[in-house]
A = this chain, B = another copy of it.
Amino acid sequence: MIPNINFTPGPSQLYFTIEDHARQAFKDGIPSLSHRSKAFEKISAEATEGLRELLNIPSGHQFYFTGSANEIWERIIQNLVENQSFHFVNGSFSKRFFEIAAQLNKHPKKIEVENGKGFDEHIQIPPDTELIAITHNETSTGVSMPLETIYGFGKKNPDALLVVDAVSSLPFPDFDYSKLDSVFFSVQKGFGLPAGLGVWIVNDKCITKAEKILTKGISIGSYHTIPVLQAHALKNQTPETPNVLGIYLLAKVVQDMIRRGIQTIRKETEYKAALLYQTLDQHPIISAAIKDKSYQSKTVIVADCGEHTDRITKFLIEKGMQPGDGYGPAKKTQLRFANFPTHSKEQYELLVDSLNAVRS
């Protein structure tokens, strides 16, 4: 039996309207809609213009659809880095981004700190850095980088592109997109959609950089280069046959979120995060894995449960809640709790009540 409430950080619980939207999609023939039709272009525009409105993204930024955020890591390195990117590494996903740059035969550099730690805002970035890769929210450990720290690295390195992996944080963070050159996410986390779609946001500087690398005769890929994606995005199309149903569901969920109000979503996220962190602070046998409050993620909250991990997991499942396992080496000692827009205040209240009922 599958617990009713799913706190794993991704694929996470579906946004509560998804099943209805999927039913309507089948009724309207969306799953077999041609991606070269006017109807598809309208859906695609609804998704991207909806995201622009919801997240307050400037009109100059473009949206591209990919198969996954993994793909976007690769496309960013291919399209935006000739030689050298610089990566902030403090967990499995930020490390993977760095490794991908090396696999593509670039020469990435990094500052690496222990899992669970944040970064000093005074870190010096090497002068030849073409692109700064920051993972806003390290899904593996629950560490978030404060927005002002991100903007600071951009300000001090104006010649580098500033790229933010917001896979497990959007739509929560209120980014100032005018200070970011590229941001990306996948839909199966904060947006609560079935997996199989990544969204890549880029500004003009990214388009120019990709064209510049291509002019030098360096391959930047084939069907998913920025110039090809851009040519299709201008028509609200994609180069390949995309996940049409996924784009439709994204459009619908974004409209639902606009109606609910992004401020409401953000306030509720803050409230639920405060509730859980407070519970962890006061708990006799479990505690927040991230001690420094300035780095605590609001959207992926990680609890140190030590030897009690297995028992707490079973207890929560009995109560109808599925916690996320700790990631990698922390699988047996930590639990992760997604705090996404689909997780209601009532679900979080049930979660903290249940955690409070766990005693040694």
A119 smallest CB distance to B (angstroms): 24
Interface residue from B194, B223, B245 paired with A70 (Cβ < 8 Å)? B223
A102 smallest CB distance to B (angstroms): 9
| Central interface residue in A2, A6, A105, by most chain B CB within 10 Å | A2
Question: Which residues on B sit within 8 Å (CB–CB) of A68?
Answer: 67, 240-242
| A-side interface residues, number (CB < 8 Å) | 57
The interface stretch among A26-34, A143-151, A175-183 is A26-34
The distance in angstroms between the C-alpha atoms of A259 and B23, with both chains bound, is 27
Total copies of this chain within the assembly: 2
CB pair A29–B2 under 8 Å, yes or no, is yes
The distance in angstroms between the C-alpha atoms of A130 and B66, with both chains bound, is 29
CB pair B74–A195 under 8 Å, yes or no, is no
Tell me which residues from 161 to 201 in chain A have a Cβ below 8 Å from any Cβ of chain B. 186, 188, 193-197
Question: Which residues on B sit within 8 Å (CB–CB) of A113?
Answer: none
Interface residue from B26, B217, B223 paired with A74 (Cβ < 8 Å)? B223
A303 smallest CB distance to B (angstroms): 18
Question: Which residues on B sit within 8 Å (CB–CB) of A73?
Answer: 222-223
Tell me which residues from 13 to 37 in chain A have a Cβ below 8 Å from any Cβ of chain B. 13-14, 18-19, 22-23, 26, 28-29, 31-35
Question: Which residues on B sit within 8 Å (CB–CB) of A23?
Answer: 23
Does A100 make an interface contact (CB < 8 A)? Answer: yes
Does A306 make an interface contact (CB < 8 A)? Answer: no
Interface residue from B31, B70, B77 paired with A14 (Cβ < 8 Å)? B31
Question: Which residues on B sit within 8 Å (CB–CB) of A77?
Answer: 222
* Also in contact, A188 and B104, with CB within 8 A (given A31-B18, A70-B223, A194-B32): no
Question: Which residues on B sit within 8 Å (CB–CB) of A13?
Answer: 32
CB pair A32–B19 under 8 Å, yes or no, is no
Question: Which residues on B sit within 8 Å (CB–CB) of A239?
Answer: 70
Tell me which residues from 65 to 89 in chain A have a Cβ below 8 Å from any Cβ of chain B. 66-71, 73-74, 77
CB pair B19–A221 under 8 Å, yes or no, is no
Does A10 make an interface contact (CB < 8 A)? Answer: yes
Interface residue from B69, B186, B222, B242 paired with A104 (Cβ < 8 Å)? B222
CB pair B223–A104 under 8 Å, yes or no, is no
CB pair B197–A74 under 8 Å, yes or no, is no
* Also in contact, A104 and B26, with CB within 8 A (given A10-B241, A33-B11, A186-B241): no
The distance in angstroms between the C-alpha atoms of A32 and B249, with both chains bound, is 14
Closest residue of B by beta carbon distance from A104: B219
Q: Name 4 extra pairs, CB < 8 A, besides A11-B33, A67-B68, A70-B241.
A: A67-B71, A105-B219, A196-B243, A196-B244
User: Could you write out 12 A-B pairs with CB less than 8 Å apart?
Assistant: A6-B29, A11-B33, A18-B31, A35-B195, A70-B241, A71-B224, A71-B240, A74-B222, A74-B223, A100-B222, A188-B241, A196-B243
